[in-house]
Every structure is written in structure tokens, then in C-alpha cells.
Chains A and B, each alone.
Chain A
């Protein structure tokens, strides 16, 4: 009989934990719409939640939020206990809302949902329009719609300041292993806004993909944007020190390095956009 209960009820964990869960559901119902214990397990939702949540509402962010190479809010993140994205750790924090990315470990998200935790998943922003939309979405989830609306509106207004008019120059994003971002990515949108044609998109890359070094050399873009190398060594990053790329960068009109500002759709993205707009202005009108 025990066996039949177990198999009919998706495992032992749920059987044991269900009563505990019911208790919290009762407790949080008091707060109506706005969740009181929010855990974020994705770098981008971490930052939006830190910007939008009321004091005490957010109880944990992911460990990536304290990595200066990916996060713009390392200091703020120090105030929160970090989670490593495991279902067990997050469940024990007793959240009533979990913010996750759409690429967050499928197993962790499924297990949390099985355990009755509400998990909201946000896809990575793939355009500047998405950025403002996600600010509003996270705001709505947190019950901070007004704050989010102000942030999104300010963001949209700032974008217009950086819009380049006139002939575009050429640019390429170039990352370890020859990875580039093409059509339908946030970087592509930023390049277009700042007055660049994206070599990656023109090479037929949609989303992320590999642009062989020799094709980059033949395209000879006016601007090459590379990433900051991580500590430790990797063969993947050696391509960024390849003599051909070094020569290409020296010959191009400008070179920029991406940092944490580029990673997520937060207001800090405006700093990255401003840097690109300055790079475009430095190239002049006749690239």
C-alpha cells in the first residue's frame, strides 16, 4: 500500500513536504498580491529584483550577483544571502515567489513547482524593447508596478538620447571560441541604436553563433567589441589574443570591451549604450 501511495503521488519528497507547504500558503495569503519572501536564482532577475523590491521583500539572490565580471550590483548583492540555484537550498528559504531565467536548470524549476512553490521564469532580454517590458513584468510580480513603470519610462526616454542618425559604421562582437551575437540579440539592438551594422548578423548568425576568425578578418569591421577575460586560463579565450585579431583590432578605428553592464537588461545597460555611442561618434561620419 505504501508503494502505491508513493508512486501515485510523484515521490516521497512531495508526500512529506506537502503539509509544510500548506502551512506557508496559509501564512502568505495574508499579503494578498505582493509576495513577501522572494528568492531570485538568475543573474538578471537578481538585479531587477534588487532595484525594484521593497525593503525586506527580497530574501536571496544568486551567487552570480556577486561576480564583478557579470553583475553590476556586487555591493548591493553583498546584503543578501546568496543561493546557488539548487532546489533544496531555495525550498528551505521558504519563498512565496521564485524568480528564475528561462534557461535556469529545468530540474530545479520543475522540482520547486512540484513542491508547490510559485516560480516565475523570464527569458533573457533579446531586444531593448524587452528590457523595458521585463522591468514592468518584474515590477508587477513584486507588486511594485509604479516603481517599475517609472524605471522603464526613464529607460525608454534615455535610449532616444543615444540614437544615431546618419550612415552606420561596421562593428562585430567577438567572444571566446569565436562566438558572436547576430540578429535578434540585445547586443545587435544596441549596435543598431548606436549607429553600427552588426557584422555577426550580416554573416548570417541569428542569436548567438560562431563567426570563424578568418571571416571576421575579411569583414574588417570599424569596431571590435571583445569580452573581459576571466581569471585562470582557457583555450577558448586564447582566440582573443590571436595575432590576427590583435592586428585587426589595431587597424580598426576603435575597440571596446564588454563588461557586466552588457549582460542584463537593467538601467545600467545605458552605460554600455553610451560607451558605444561615444565609440561611434569617435569614428566620425566617414567610416
Chain B
């Protein structure tokens, strides 16, 4: 059964990707949409398919993959089921970095400043979190440090946006905290995708080391795993993938928490198998959420994080409840 998981997830992601391309307020026909997308037939429809829906679907895929994969890698490295980029503050510090780059005008002067600043924010928080709640820090230290960091970064983001001369900026606090893929364009894809791909590639190389780490740190080291190097790869990989995702789509929570948990029993609890499965699972979850926001409220730009939190927060509580029983 574990062998069938990856192909099944792959098929699910492919189906959701197509659905994301075919669902939208313009209500285009199936044949019309596909002809426009692949053969470039019909001027206006081509613009809708290639300039509006395609970047949205690609970003859903990439951002979801980054969230699922980072969650799985962090949980594997910290051996802590509650680790997730959103909960431990990596996403919110990335958002702070992105907002600073946008409001100082750095992003307007130099396009790459946006993902790079978000990446810097994410790196800083990942570093801090691992220092404060590293392998021996325990779940409580991790979550508390994450709460403090998230609150601080959220306050910083609100402050920067409130001080902006742009009247729209302050209303966008909710975008940075909840995330959305509405009206993104190919330029956002080009800005984020390379960093997401790089980060995901780095995280995917950690599978074997994380497998060894399940036996404990000493066993892993005796098997040739260099923990300091592994830590660095996890930090930089997560920062690159999450930083770039948040820079274009805002902070979408709980995906990195739920997806590895659902998939872990299906892949036999081995991190090396869980990593690619979580990347696909994350992509499926964000694509599905993004389709749902378009179906539920087509002209409201309902935020993605609202849906993922509606599913994720009860799940998180369930996990905490279960841990309570284990600890008691």
C-alpha cells in the first residue's frame, strides 16, 4: 500500500491542478478553456487561461508543496509533531520581511528584494527557533518560542502597514496573516518559483539523515549524519521555500501540520518517504482550498488561511489532546 501512495497523490494533485485551471468566475467552457491554454485559440480566453488562471494554479502547487514539505522536514528534524512553519513563526517573520521590502520601496527598485527579504526573515526565525527549541528543547519550548515570534512579527507587520502612506496597505494585514492567491501573475511565479524549487530540493536531500535521526541523535551520528550540517540544510531549505511562498501568497497556516500527520501512517512513518508525499499532499491541500475559496465566495477574495485554519486548528487541538494523554 505504501508504494501506491505517491502515484495516488500525484494523480490527485494533477486533477486538482486541472480543476484550478478550469474553475473561475468567467465561466468558460471546458473545450474552449483547453483550446486556449494549449493551442492559444481565442484572444480573450487565452489571456484568462494563461495570464490569470495558470499563474494561480502554479503558485497553489508550489506554495502548497513548500508548506507540506517544510512541515514534514521540521517535524522529522525536531522529532516533534507540532513543528510547522506557520505555528513556529517562520511564516510570519517571512511576511514581516516581505512587508518591509515592499514599504521601503526596495521591492520596487529591485524585484528580487521581495523574496530575498522574506527569505532573510524566515532564516532569522528558523535559526532562533532551532536555537531555543532545538532537538532537546521539547514541544512546549518550541510552541512557546513560536507563539512569541509570531506575535512579534505580526505586530511588526501591522506597524509597518499602518505607517504606510498607502491607504490600502493597512487593510492588507489580513492578507499577510491569512494568505491568498487571487490575481497573482506570472511575474510572481518567476519571482517565487526558483527559490521554492531550490528550498524544496534542499529539503528533499535530507530524507536519509532524517531516517537515521529517528533512531536518536547518537545512533544517527554513528551512522555518519552530521547534525550541524543537517540543521543548516533544514534552516536554509525551509527559509528559501517558505520565504518565497509567503512573499507572493502571504502566510497560509496549518498545511505543514496536517499534511504530514495524515500521510505518516500511509508511508510507514519513514521521513525519507514522508517528505515527497507531504510535498504532494501540501500541494493538493492548497489547490483544493484555493478552488474552495473561489466556489464559496467568487467575488470576495476569501483568504486561504481561513479555510486551512478551519480544518487545521481543530486538528491541532486534537494533537495537543493526544499528547496530553501520552504525557500523563
Q: List the interface of chain A (C-beta within 8 A of B).
A: 176-178, 209-215, 217-218, 220, 230-239, 242-244, 247-248
Contact = CB atoms under 8 A, between A and B. Distances in A.
Contacts of B51: 242-244, 247
A236 B165 CA distance: 14
Interface stretch (B264-272, B285-293, B295-303): B295-303
B44 A232 contact: no
A244 B50 CA distance: 9
Contacts of B172: 234-236
B24 interface: yes
A213 B52 contact: yes
B113 to A, nearest CB: 11
Interface string B216-255: 0000000000000000000000000000000000000000
Interface string B168-189: 1101100100000001011100
A140 B170 CA distance: 38
Contact of B52 (A217, A230, A234): A217
B48 A217 contact: yes
Nearest to A220: B44
Contact of A233 (B24, B44, B52, B166): B166
Given A210-B299, A215-B25, A230 B166 contact: yes
Interface residues on B, range: 20 to 34
A232 B48 contact: no
Interface string B19-60: 000001110100000000000000011011001110000000
Given A235-B172, A235-B175, A243 B187 contact: yes
A248 B47 contact: yes
B26 A214 contact: yes
Contacts of A237: 166, 168
Contacts of B168: 176-177, 230, 234-237
Given A214-B25, A214-B53, A242 B169 contact: no
Contacts of A217: 26, 44, 47-48, 52
Contact of B44 (A218, A236, A243): A218
Contact of B301 (A177, A218, A247): A177
B103 interface: yes
B283 interface: no
Nearest to A69: B167
List the 5 closest A-B pairs by CB distance, nearest first. A232-B166, A234-B168, A236-B168, A244-B51, A212-B25
Contact of B183 (A213, A215, A232, A234): A213
Contacts of B194: none
A267 B300 CA distance: 35
B6 to A, nearest CB: 34
Nearest to B26: A214
Given A217-B48, A242-B183, A212 B164 contact: no
Nearest to B171: A236
B103 A233 contact: yes
A212 B171 contact: no
Nearest to A248: B47
Contacts of B108: 233
A244 B175 contact: no
B19 to A, nearest CB: 16
Nearest to A204: B299
14 contacts: A210-B300, A210-B301, A212-B24, A214-B24, A214-B52, A215-B25, A217-B26, A233-B105, A233-B164, A234-B169, A244-B51, A244-B185, A247-B47, A247-B51
Contacts of A230: 165-168
A49 B170 CA distance: 30
